[in-house]
Amino acid sequence: MQLAGRGVVCVRGGREVFSGLDFEATSGEAVAVVGRNGSGKTSLLRLIAGLLIPAGGTIALDGGDAELTLPEQCHYLGHRDALKPALSVAENLSFWADFLGGERLDAAESLATVGLDHAADLPAAFLSAGQRRRLSLARLLTVRRPVWLLDEPTNALDVAGQDMVGGLMREHLARGGLIIAATHAPLGIDSRQLRIGGAV
């Protein structure tokens, strides 16, 4: 499986963020997208996720499920964590598991992995920023998707949480997954660097 972008151009609000960007990632490989603030790291992830339309160039996944589009095979972990404060931790997770569909794991097990099993019945409104991040990560574990698009995955997490994310990413890569992560901090796993927008 290979994800490749050729000559990708991103225009936002009439301003060209980056142009002529080439990148590729194969199964079992992680790409760390680095660059200064505003260089277009998040935009690149959203382009791959189909949430932005490229102004030029192509992004394609070879060797994936031919029946599905690229966004349908991606997990997107953005700045906003897609949680409903009125629903409990377990309800939030089981909703996304039911809605996203496909191959899935036991939700309780993923909650235990991210260290939220004790809070399963707590409304998400009472979670801290780090716990919300952990709950979002549980979604990635519960529903299987080959491509992970992570935007600052370790944001708001404590040291143990950052190690946990590293472990989860290694497991995902070992299963033949593929990770594109936008990050300022070191990812904590072996990764190829993709620098956009000049030196940091």
Partner 1 sequence: MTALSALVRRDIRIALRVGGGALIGVLFFLTVVVLMPFAVGPDLALLSRLGPAILWLGALLASLLTLDRLFMADHDDGSLDLITMSRTPLELACAAKALAHWLAAGLPLIVATPVLGLLLNLDMVATGAVALTLLAGTPALTFTGMIGAALAVTLHRGGLLMAVLVLPLSIPVLIFGVAASQAAIVGPMTFGAPFSILCALSLVSLVIGPFAAAASLRHGLD
CB of 31 to partner 1, least distance (A): 19
Q: Does 82 bind partner 1 (CB under 8 A)?
A: yes
Of the pair 68, 105, the CB lying nearest partner 1 is at 68
Amino acid found at 179: I
Q: Does 86 bind partner 1 (CB under 8 A)?
A: yes
- Would you call 8 exposed, middle or buried from its count of C-beta atoms within 10 A (0-12, 13-18, 19+)? buried
143-158 burial, b if ≥16 CB within 10 A, otherwise e?
bbbbbbbbbbbbbebe
Angle value at C-alpha 177, between 108 and 127, nearest 5 degrees: 35
CB of 121 to partner 1, least distance (A): 14
- Between strands 178-182 and 147-151, the pairing is parallel
Among 49, 137, 157, 169, binds partner 1 (CB under 8 A): 49
- Is the Cβ–Cβ distance between 192 and 31 less than 8 Å? yes
Of the pair 57, 71, the CB lying nearest partner 1 is at 71
- Per CB under 8 A, which region of 48-56, 111-119, 164-172, 182-190 contacts partner 1? 48-56
DSSP per residue over 74-135, as a string? EEEE-SS----TTSBHHHHHHHHHHHH-SSB--HHHHHHHTT-GGGTTSBGGG--HHHHHHH
Contact map string, positions 90 to 119, toward partner 1, x by CB under 8 A: -x---xx-xxxxx-----------------
Question: Which alpha helices (DSSP H) does 22-78 contain, by range?
Answer: 41-48
CB of 189 to partner 1, least distance (A): 24
Query: If DSSP codes are grouped into helix, strand and coil, which group holds residue 41?
Result: helix
Among 72, 108, 144, 184, binds partner 1 (CB under 8 A): 72
- Per CB under 8 A, which region of 24-32, 83-91, 164-172, 175-183 contacts partner 1? 83-91
CB of 197 to partner 1, least distance (A): 19
Of the pair 86, 129, the CB lying nearest partner 1 is at 86
| Residues in contact with partner 1 by the rule CB under 8 A | 12, 46, 49-53, 68, 71-72, 74, 76, 78-84, 86-87, 91, 95-96, 98-102
